[in-house]
């Protein structure tokens, strides 16, 4: 097979040696959907493909996808701190702590002031204990917790320690609060949103979420997924 020099507008990939692909995950896609799309695009190469850090279906933003030998480094990429932007809606809770499920309870918010919101955000900074949502991808006895939750089964989840480096309120438009958060791996922003309402003696849920950074990598340098797939196919055509 003869290698042909790619044009200036093309990207050179070496999937076997390992590629780290930065993808801007689309809304409603699971992280596994993205991995599957990339894996199918590099066929017939039979290579490992994985991602570093799950994003929920209703979240968008930076997803690191690794191929070939670089999949061995996924754990180290996943261990990096993350940054997110998004919004919390006050006055209502959902079982999943986000918009994946319907509102199950409403609460008054008339007593909440802007200063209370700012103080509540500040109270979460540092090392905290949080409970992952029942609708999450963690495993108990080999089964994803969300699978149990969707069957209506009771799920006992242990709390875990995470670190909130910063919790910045960027805008308040009641009932919505817009934020930017920097945190350690394993932090559930949905749980943070749920607990945020409790601190304010109300209820709340996560209404939007976008991962903007993972370690030193930014979503500003990420591929649109469909554009990435087109580029991969173009690359395959050039070198065949």
Look at residue 152 in the predicted model and tell me its pLDDT.
64
Q: How many angstroms separate the CA atoms of 149 and 29, rounded?
A: 20
Active-site pick, 24, 33, 56, 81: 56
Q: Tokens 């999943």 — which residue?
A: 96
Q: Over pLDDT 70: what percentage of the chain?
A: 85
> CA nearest 68: which of 51, 95, 49?
49
Structure tokens at 6: 């790619």
- Tell me which residue has tokens 């395959």: 236
Residue 146: predicted pLDDT: 61
Residue 3 has pLDDT above 50, yes or no: no
The Cα 227–Cα 218 span in angstroms is: 18
Mean pLDDT value of segment 44-50: 91
SS3 233: helix
Give Cβ neighbours of residue 9 (< 8 Å, ≥ 6 apart): none
Question: Please, which pLDDT band fits residue 46 given cuts at 50, 70 and 90?
Answer: confident
* pLDDT at 102 > cutoff 90: yes
Query: Locate tokens 């050039």: which residue?
Result: 238
The confidence band for 89, taking pLDDT boundaries of 50, 70 and 90, is very high
* 176 vs 143, more confident: 176
Task: Answer whether 91's CB lies under 8 Å from 198's CB.
Answer: no
Helices (H), 79-213: 114-123, 145-150, 189-199
Measured between alpha carbons, how far is 54 from 166 in angstroms, rounded to an integer?
Answer: 21
What whole-number percentage of the chain has pLDDT above 90?
A: 77
Average pLDDT, the chain: 89
Which of 117-126, 138-147, 222-231 comes out lowest in average pLDDT? 138-147
Residues 117-136 have a mean pLDDT of 92
- Give the containing element (helix H, strand E) for 92: strand 92-93
Q: Note whether 60 and 26 are within 8 A (CB).
A: yes
Backbone angles phi, psi at 234, to 5 degrees: -65, -40
Our answer to whether residue 56 is catalytic in this structure is: yes
């Amino acid at each position: 097979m003869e290698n042909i020099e790619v044009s200036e507008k093309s990207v050179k990939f070496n999937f076997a040696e390992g590629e780290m692909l930065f993808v801007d995950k689309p809304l409603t896609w699971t992280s596994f959907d993205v991995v599957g799309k990339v894996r199918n695009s590099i066929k017939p190469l039979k290579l490992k493909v994985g991602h570093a850090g799950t994003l929920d279906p209703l979240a968008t933003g930076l997803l690191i996808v690794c191929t070939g030998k670089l999949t061995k480094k996924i754990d180290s990429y996943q261990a990096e701190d993350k940054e997110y932007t998004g919004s919390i809606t006050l006055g209502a809770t959902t079982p999943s702590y986000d918009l994946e499920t319907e509102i199950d309870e409403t609460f008054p918010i008339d007593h909440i002031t802007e200063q209370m919101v700012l103080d509540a955000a500040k109270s979460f900074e540092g090392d905290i204990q949080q409970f992952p949502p029942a609708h999450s991808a963690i495993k108990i006895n080999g089964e994803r917790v969300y699978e149990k939750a969707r069957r209506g089964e009771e799920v006992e989840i242990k709390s875990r320690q995470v670190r909130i480096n910063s919790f910045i309120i960027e805008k308040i438009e009641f009932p919505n609060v817009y934020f930017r958060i920097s945190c350690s791996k394993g932090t559930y922003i949905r749980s943070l949103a749920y607990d945020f309402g409790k601190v304010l003696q109300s209820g709340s849920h996560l209404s939007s979420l976008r991962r903007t950074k993972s370690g030193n990598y930014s979503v500003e340098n990420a591929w649109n997924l469909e554009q990435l797939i087109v580029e991969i196919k173009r690359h395959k055509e050039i070198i065949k």
